[in-house]
Amino acid sequence: MDRLRSFARWEIIIPFCYFLVLFFEIEVIFPIEKSLLAPHPYLASLVFLPHAVRVLATVIVGPKVFFVLFPTILVSGYFLFDSYAGEAAYLLVMEAAIGAGGPPVAYMIVKRIRKNAEAFELTLLNWRTVFLIGALASVINSVTRVTVLGNMTQLSNILEAIAKVIVGDMVGLAIGLVSLLFVFRLVRRRPI
């Protein structure tokens, strides 16, 4: 019963955090990137902070977080991105499924690989494992996104798109983890 209550609490926290971070990404990060990278083609964000929320939510809750992330990404995309213009398009559903599915799949792969280890304790204190899950999720996300949604034919364009998504996801994850580290230090110094 405690696990169910805990999961129910995360069903509220995860969408709130995801929406907040995505809104910050759209209103602050995207305009800065567009102004700095104006002459270059704009395929993917070089700092994608929502990836940190997806990975950390998966690490905290486990693979069942897909059922929270999928509708969250779907609704956020519907209301925050102008390119969908309020339509529940096939593209939006596919992007939500890919974005929500990558971290849980990466979590299960890492857990399966480390099954023979003495203890597979996946907590936020184990930063290397969190980063490994984030990196694997980024690779799964980028390859799936480019393969399923990209209509590119040249290998160089495909590899460039995959690399940009991976770089954006990993930079976003690194910034998210460092930000959490500073927040935890502040909380430890000043109890609430």
pLDDT, tens only, 80-91: 776 655 555 778
pTM score, whole prediction: 0.84
Burial class (CB within 10 angstroms; exposed 0-12, middle 13-18, buried 19+) of 67: middle
Nearest C-alpha neighbor of 146 from the set 113, 169, 130? 169
pLDDT of 26 above 90: no
Q: What average pLDDT does the segment 171-182 reach?
A: 88
Write the pLDDT tens digit of every residue in 123-168: 556 788 889 999 999 999 989 988 887 776 777 778 888 888 899 8
Quick one: average pLDDT of 13-39?
86
Task: Give the Cα separation of 39 and 58 in Å (integer).
Answer: 36
**Which of 8-17 are b and which e, b meaning 16 or more Cβ less than 10 Å from the residue's Cβ?**
eebeeebbeb
% of the chain residues with pLDDT over 70: 81
Q: What torsion, rounded to 10 degrees, do the Cα atoms 142, 148, 152, 157 define?
A: 10
Measuring CA to CA, how many Å separate 81 from each of 1, 26, 30, 42, 75? 38, 8, 11, 15, 10
**Cα distance between residue 155 and residue 162, in whole Å:** 11
pLDDT at 108: 92
Name the residue among 53, 83, 84, 78 with its Cα closest to residue 68. Answer: 53
Task: Tally the domains of the chain.
Answer: 1
Residue of 131, 174, 122, 151 whose CA lies nearest to 43: 151
CA distance 174 to 162: 18
CA pair distance 110, 83, nearest whole angstrom: 35
pLDDT of residue 117: 58
- Residue 43 structural domain: 2-189
Residues 173 and 186: their CA atoms lie apart, in Å, by 20
Whether residue 63 contacts residue 107, with contact meaning beta carbons closer than 8 Å, is answered with yes
Q: Which residue has the higher pLDDT, 180 or 149?
A: 180
**Interaxial angle between packed helices 127-149 and 155-189, expressed in degrees from 0 to 180 and rounded to the nearest 10:** 150
